[in-house]
Structure 1
């Protein structure tokens, strides 16, 4: 039987390198959502930390190991959340952090990267161009290049969420995971397939940024010319072959959802769960909204993976809270 690049013992060891403030995030059954979705719903809330996303689980592992080996600098490309997380983890360990991002990335995320003390370089292009520029900087300066999803620390850091999902009660029979570069999906998926193989792993991606889902379906890397979605955290165009290989081993399904369903998911999370989520974090809710019959009578878990939003854009998406909202 083929195995992923990940290792469960290393994932358990990674927990010991992560600041406890990023671990054991709230996980609970959200009954207020259930009448709207027609199924039992558990939420894993990865926004309840200083960088408001799951990304710090991976950057804590990276920064800890860099500091331990006397490597003083690191560079990454980011749509915003990874950059914030790396800036936080690097600052606490005295690392020199450079983040490369698209000039069109969410302004609130970029502002937070700067506030955390990282050097921010902007490119006139999308995330794929930022990845190229980060690699150029790493070669030029001889520093560590952190490549999200390709580097195992990012996948195994994210996989610690899977350990917590498995340990919690009540049990669930399906987990819905936002799919972008693949660190979250392959990490959590690996743990579930090893420790709870009866749980169905479904990855969810926007219809406007479908590269990894198309690749999973065709079992080969499929790139796209563009990505057009409000879910900027998962808007990649060029899947990484090694990550796709892992995804093929752990995902039971990969689905695409429309933008209007993502917006509806954001509204439900706000109105019925009191949660401000970024679009990527609403993908699991969107998947249920688009296929209620599939999930009827089941208990699904979804990872609310980030909550960094541009306030003006968020107000446009969700509007005013509905009367009587929870």
Structure 2
């Protein structure tokens, strides 16, 4: 039994509460990408949905729980994707959703949050500043604060991706997971280590936002003073102790990759898979690029976790 905060029965039950459009996402071998990388590559595509990312698996659980409790409002801090997902799930259930984000967040993500009907509060600073402001809003208004990765709903919603990987009968021996706050890494990792313990779980983070990876390596919370990465979706500085404990129980390795490799991964996903992805979604491919020998001849699955990107920035990265 894997000792984490997650529960397999709850993860299985979660599928009944998540809108089916976010479930059973495509999983397929991408031969062209595999030939380029020297290994078999399977893609788990989490972008073909209304919010273009995996986050709604968790926000569907949060919104359903809140409406069941008779609550009418909720607030979260977001780098962009959680805010979109919470706005989508909340609007369908009549919740007033407030999202706190940094002014540095990609304009495309901020525009989508507004378009989905949420109140958007912008702050100067980075994501940690947004987290502090969201907590203040929750106290001032007496409403529920959704904390990504700390709240089990966000982890167990993401864990349903792991169920789909395990139940697909894939021959993948390694799964590469983008690591930010840890909801997806702990959720997917927990299910795989419970149902398919021989599958290697590798988490991937940028060198410019290494806090959770350093914490995993040192087995204690390690914070950083700043972040410097185009992968805004994983750019946190303060790991959550409870999430780190879960990650220590389920991750086999945590690696850091360069910005150049992230951009190269985005290019490969466009050219060989026809996918426009945000930088965080290219972390798995970046990890293979930086250690081809490690993955040579293996079957690797990578989760394409988001496709919300400013097209001007994307064009500069991919064509530059």
On whether the aligned pair clears a TM of 0.5, the verdict is: yes
Give the whole-Å Cα distance in 2 for the aligned partners of 1:117 and 1:66.
18
Give the 3-state SS of the residue equivalent to 1:58 in structure 2: helix
Shift of 1:2: 6.1
2:65 counterpart of 1:44: no
Which residue does the alignment assign to 2:77? 77
Give the 3-state SS of the residue equivalent to 2:74 in structure 1: strand
Give the whole-Å Cα distance in 2 for the aligned partners of 1:318 and 1:167.
34
Give the whole-Å Cα distance in 2 for the aligned partners of 1:256 and 1:67.
39
Taking the TM superposition and a 5 Å limit, the aligned residue runs for 1:163-182 are: 163-182=163-182
Which residue does the alignment assign to 1:54? 54
TM-score by length of 2: 0.99
Give the whole-Å Cα distance in 2 for the aligned partners of 1:7 and 1:29.
30
Which residue does the alignment assign to 2:214? 214
Give the whole-Å Cα distance in 1 for the aligned partners of 2:50 and 2:319.
26
Which residue does the alignment assign to 1:245? 245
Give the whole-Å Cα distance in 1 for the aligned partners of 2:2 and 2:45.
32
Q: After the TM superposition, which parts of structure 1 deviate over 3 Å for at least 4 consecutive aligned residues?
A: none
2:147 counterpart of 1:147: yes
Taking the TM superposition and a 5 Å limit, the aligned residue runs for 1:245-264 are: 245-264=245-264
Which residue does the alignment assign to 1:324? none
Shift of 1:148: 0.1
Which residue does the alignment assign to 2:13? 13
Give the whole-Å Cα distance in 2 for the aligned partners of 1:256 and 1:144.
34
Shift of 1:169: 3.7
Give the whole-Å Cα distance in 2 for the aligned partners of 1:254 and 1:281.
16
Structure 2 contact 2–190 (Cα < 8 Å) conserved = no
Q: Any idea what the Cα deviations from partners look like across 1:54-107, whole Å, max 9, x if unmatched?
A: 000000000011111111000000000000000000000000000000011000
Structure 2: 5+ residue runs without aligned partners? none
Q: Any idea what the Cα deviations from partners look like across 1:152-198, whole Å, max 9, x if unmatched?
A: 00000000000000111432100000000000000000000000000
Structure 1: 5+ residue runs without aligned partners? 321-326
Taking the TM superposition and a 5 Å limit, the aligned residue runs for 1:308-323 are: 308-319=308-319
2:39 counterpart of 1:3: no
Give the 3-state SS of the residue equivalent to 1:104 in structure 2: coil
